[in-house]
Amino acid sequence: MRRFAAAAAFLLLAGCGGTGDRDDDAGKRDKVAVGVIAIVDVAPIYLGQAQGFFGQQDIDLTLTTAQGGAAIVPGVLSAEFQFGFSNTISLLLAQGRNVPIRVVANGNNSTGDAANDFGGLYVRADSPIRSAKDLGGRTVAANTLKNITETTVKATVKKAGGDASAVRFTELAFPDQVPALQAGRVDAIFVVEPFQQAAIAAGARRIASPYAEAAPNLTVAMYFTSQQLIAEDPELVTRFTTAMRQSLAYADTHPDEVRAALGTYTKISPETRDALVLPRWPVEVNRGSVTELGRLAREDGLLTAEPDLTALLPGS
């Protein structure tokens, strides 16, 4: 049975899933819980579930939403989730603190097109802010603090010639950001799809695309698990990774099916689904972009030492 929880006025995301290609044999499959975020970035795992990729790997998948990747890491460590989806900075920070996790699959990437990316930095239409340079001393909403939003927004401000150290960040869930911007409680918001469409519909003006500007083909997020699960059940980790890689490859080459799949686990209207800018979903992690994010995080003081990518990333 599928449960739904509201994520925005036009969005209702499934709290769990369980459709596979062998429902009559579900009792023999491993039950696997995955922590995800209520954003379009995770569409491949829902599409892969519908395509039967996880069922083919004897996995009975349950998907549970959280506000951000930083909240999912503790859930994986406590075994509330066997796997999780988190932004790259949160994973780098966890690795820098010797948190026993490891990436098992890519999550999603920027389109690389600053004029047409799946996330952007927005201000009100009547705002005096004309570019990222003007954000010094201003307040920017982020879905969680000390994550990829802060790192890429600060990098964009610096690139534009502004004072990144003077930017203030406040934590707001994605569904709350557009109302806060309209009410003047924040000066700018950083939103990803489908909330980007809500910002556009509200008349907000994009001043930058931090993901696209931070590094070419930026790896924004990845799927990960605990070192404990890798040690205790490496075969399950391999099966999940296989299904996840199939899901990413399928989603990246079937955008129309991605949009259709969104209609099965969200209440995004067909018109909005058609307007969405989709992320890229390459199978492989862009290690160069992860290295660049680590450099930017060290520059901002989020990381105190160079991250050990060999310990964090797959294939190392």
Where is pLDDT greater, at 283 or 4?
Answer: 283
Question: What does the pLDDT look like over 167-185, one tens digit per residue?
Answer: 999 999 999 999 999 999 9
**How confident is the model at residue 316, as a pLDDT?**
59
The string of DSSP letters for the chain reads ---EEEEETTEEEES-----S-GGGGGGSEEEEEEEESSGGGHHHHHHHHHTHHHHTTEEEEEEEES-HHHHHHHHHTTS-SEEEEEHHHHHHHHHTT--EEEEEEEEE--S-TTS-SEEEEE-TT-S--SGGGGTT-EEEESSSSSHHHHHHHHHHHHTT--GGG-EEEE--HHHHHHHHHTTS-SEEEEETTHHHHHHHTT-EEEE-HHHHHSTT-EEEEEEEEHHHHHH-HHHHHHHHHHHHHHHHHHHH-HHHHHHHHHHH----HHHHHHPPP-B--SS--HHHHHHHHHHHHHHTS-SS---HHHHSTT-
Distance of CA 159 to the CA centre of its chain: 23
d(CA 92, CA 306): 9
Given a cut of 50, is residue 5 above it in pLDDT?
no
Given a cut of 60, is residue 33 above it in pLDDT?
yes
Question: What does the pLDDT look like over 37-77, one tens digit per residue?
Answer: 878 899 999 999 999 999 999 999 999 988 777 779 999 99
**How confident is the model at residue 129, as a pLDDT?**
98
Mean pLDDT of 244-272: 91
Give 22's pLDDT tier (boundaries 50, 70, 90). very low
Residue written as token pair 């990774």: 241
d(CA 124, CA 83): 37
Mean pLDDT of 222-233: 98
**How confident is the model at residue 7, as a pLDDT?**
34
d(CA 294, CA 90): 11
Given a cut of 70, is residue 247 above it in pLDDT?
yes
